[in-house]
Structure 1
């Protein structure tokens, strides 16, 4: 066992994003760490009340402007740092739209933005409005505001969107302006990981060392991840040894999380559990994230006792158990097949929740469906419909996938049709599901349902040449021809007729 004990360190926050089968601790704010403020002091009662109102907007349907204006009319004074803390928390839980609305509310009231604020705003714009809007915002900044922070935010947006050409071009510009920091390298390394090119990460780390650029905690984490993805567990351990050598400040609970993730991935159970104990010892201040990782790792190791123990520690450590925590706990209980525990935990959440989060219900529904408990899953769904306005597209997708696996294609298609009729998300079915539908209809020579599926996919804007090809294969299998102008139908939606598709068209029009 190569683990050395780190001294007390202050851990940074991290969402539960276990990339590439638990190989690293990667989180939204980590990659933009250099333009995010340090963790704030404990919130006052007024701040908590304001944040709770803002965080509930997704369920209540109100707006940020209405909420803030009403809060002020009640006699409360809102400080900039209080709003910044609300923004930080909303970003932490993926509520980017409302976080951006706060910044727009601040802008209208001429509240001065720091370089850090501008970078955060650019980051939020890219997530809510898209990359072109973020580029427009960046280009509209005065030259002195186009600095290390805002350049870093734009680079992060490119890397997140896997826009490699733009990312590499901007990285060169950052280098030319002497704005290069560990953040810039971290972004590019993360891009390489997302492009399935982990072998390009270690050379970048060596370049950083050569140029004496500081290796941050995230740098070490992504470096460890690259070795894990390459199947080099000894490389992972070498990086860990370097981190712990001389008790570097970069060592914290996330370091152990990355090491444990590699051990879990390669089924090194004893090493994984020893590392998880050390991870738990590194939790020095109240933070839900490390407990989320512990619970998830123990569930992957099928250690039911440890799942229950850490769940209880998490609940007792905080005044309120968040919806995110409940989702993590429920996922873990389902994974270790404690379905009675799932039921009790879900009932506990329902009795305490301030608003009905359908994502929590979806975890329970998904858990039941994995164990073929369809009746129980349907009961939760019907109850959720009574208590919430949705969204339910992801719920329908869970049932659809279950029915596909069990070859109940009529029910699966009904779920898809219902989902396609809703306008509450940009969800599209996975390509594997589409192919499973079409292959079934081809085998059954069921042109009618193949056309129904096609209409659903067209409504969801996910029709391409492959979908047309699969549809035409069903016609061929059924020995049918179509009098419609197939080519015109295809070209009308802007799809290029490939040679393969051309052959299918000829078959359908000649049979």
Structure 2
């Protein structure tokens, strides 16, 4: 079998549908139970949910579990997806090579790359193949681990399994590392080895030229696609092309690409609708944005939270608060589960327009309907009040955010911290700076930079702190150099 061209996901799904009678209602019901699990915190596992489901006399097929894993993974619920695979393993449900690769990727997301490496090492030799090698390579590339990625890629080349997916992973790595100039040589390497470029390859090839601010290079790649393999062009190609034009400020060319996107996408492609909405907002085409949203709602029976999120973000970008309120209300009336991301999008838009009461109302609603965490929302309020010189209100929201932090899962925005310290220094407010340091210490964010700012505030206020050296040493702060000179000024004669 020739694995040099990846099999489209749609083709795989079509084969599954042809070989198994799918109970859509069962998949939906099971997925709703599993998706309700909180990604962090809580004690109920996906395995416990599945056990209860089976105890109710329901049958669970591998196809249903695979679909749930795919959806959970799509929405970033890697821990729950991994727990399903662990449940399958305990019950001796046969894994394919693709399943082993999926599990490896989930382990990396949920437990870290070291755990994924251990899992790979434990696999039977037969399962150390292009799928699992490719999954491990993808983990390294996503983690920006260039040395390990290149070493593994070299080994895959030696085994003659470095096909399209492997090259695409390396291209992703270099784009993540902001090294777009390294992508074209990879494309040339594929061509020398007679390895076919797929749609993803071409899209990243175009993206590399966009990263180099070479719009002519982008267009040249597109022309190559048209000439060499027109079948690789789909709606994602036009979406990428439009985004590059938006970046270059070529709005008319972007609009033309978006019209081509609509011709290619099909009427029920929700993902394509999202790109259209976001990109039309990017070129300030409000009329087109609302037309596409109306088309989405008329062509799809249900609209998921992610589409509502994209629409709210687009309306916020265009400062269309009235339409945002209407869309928010539509979501409230139709939602099957509360999504904190939508609340955050609304809060951003309301604060951007100075509508504090509306933003606070959304936060209160979110706190009533969600278990949180609410770090991001409170950070938005912190930043807003700091920018409007309402420091006491800003500090209140930062304190509220820090109060719910567990296991260092969130840190304050460094720019906000700098603004706080600058204000306290200007006002010679030592008490305010000390209060901020106490908050930072609670989330292990009291570093040398924070102490430097605290010392500057003491110096500006002309106050002494005889115990400061002891405090700093207890917190592991190096008191040499510039910070040491400041320290001497606040120690007094002690």
* C-alpha separation in 2, matches of 1:38 and 1:493: 55
Q: 2:302 aligns with which of 317, 320, 324?
A: 320
Answer yes or no: is the 8 Å Cα contact 1:35–1:119 preserved in 2.
no
Task: Report deviation, 1:370.
Answer: 0.6
* C-alpha separation in 2, matches of 1:257 and 1:447: 52
Q: Summarize the Cα distance change of 1:476–1:117 in structure 2 as closer, same or farther, 3 Å threshold.
A: same
Q: Summarize the Cα distance change of 1:145–1:378 in structure 2 as closer, same or farther, 3 Å threshold.
A: same
Residue 385 (structure 1) aligns with:
367
1:432 aligned to 2:415?
yes
* C-alpha separation in 1, matches of 2:465 and 2:445: 23
What aligned pairs does 1:103-118 form with structure 2 within 5 A after superposition?
103-118=85-100
Task: Report deviation, 1:509.
Answer: 2.9
Residue 24 (structure 1) aligns with:
none
* C-alpha separation in 2, matches of 1:280 and 1:242: 22
Task: Report deviation, 1:80.
Answer: 0.7
1:418 aligned to 2:392?
no
Task: Report deviation, 1:346.
Answer: 1.0
Task: Report deviation, 1:117.
Answer: 0.7
1:195 aligned to 2:177?
yes
* C-alpha separation in 1, matches of 2:423 and 2:23: 56
Residue 128 (structure 1) aligns with:
110
1:262 aligned to 2:244?
yes
* C-alpha separation in 2, matches of 1:81 and 1:416: 45
Q: Summarize the Cα distance change of 1:373–1:508 in structure 2 as closer, same or farther, 3 Å threshold.
A: same
Task: Report deviation, 1:242.
Answer: 0.9
* C-alpha separation in 2, matches of 1:124 and 1:36: 22
* C-alpha separation in 2, matches of 1:202 and 1:305: 38
Report SS of the residue matched to 1:57.
coil
Residue 205 (structure 1) aligns with:
187
Task: Report deviation, 1:461.
Answer: 2.4
Task: Report deviation, 1:131.
Answer: 1.6
* C-alpha separation in 1, matches of 2:364 and 2:110: 31
* C-alpha separation in 2, matches of 1:328 and 1:309: 15
1:157 aligned to 2:142?
no
Task: Report deviation, 1:470.
Answer: 2.1
Answer yes or no: is the 8 Å Cα contact 1:100–1:124 preserved in 2.
yes
1:46 aligned to 2:20?
no
* C-alpha separation in 1, matches of 2:428 and 2:120: 54
* C-alpha separation in 2, matches of 1:238 and 1:82: 44
Task: Report deviation, 1:497.
Answer: 5.1
* C-alpha separation in 1, matches of 2:11 and 2:411: 36
Residue 3 (structure 2) aligns with:
none
Q: Which runs of 5+ in 1 are unaligned?
A: 1-31
User: Which digits, 9 at most, give the CA deviation of each residue in 1:215-241, with x for residues without a partner?
Assistant: 121111111111111110000001111
* C-alpha separation in 2, matches of 1:281 and 1:440: 54
Answer yes or no: is the 8 Å Cα contact 2:209–2:218 preserved in 1.
yes
Q: Which runs of 5+ in 2 are unaligned?
A: 1-5
* C-alpha separation in 2, matches of 1:206 and 1:340: 51
Task: Report deviation, 1:45.
Answer: 2.0
* C-alpha separation in 1, matches of 2:202 and 2:263: 20
Residue 473 (structure 1) aligns with:
456
Across the aligned residues of Structure 1 and Structure 2, the Cα RMSD in angstroms comes to 2.4
What aligned pairs does 1:145-294 form with structure 2 within 5 A after superposition?
145-284=127-266, 286-294=268-276
Larger relative contact order, structure 1 or 2 (CA cutoff 8 Å, min sep 6): 1
Q: Summarize the Cα distance change of 1:35–1:480 in structure 2 as closer, same or farther, 3 Å threshold.
A: farther
1:57 aligned to 2:37?
yes
Q: Give TM-score, length-normalised by structure 1.
A: 0.88
User: Which digits, 9 at most, give the CA deviation of each residue in 1:386-413, with x for residues without a partner?
Assistant: 2333221211111111112112121111
* C-alpha separation in 1, matches of 2:335 and 2:409: 27
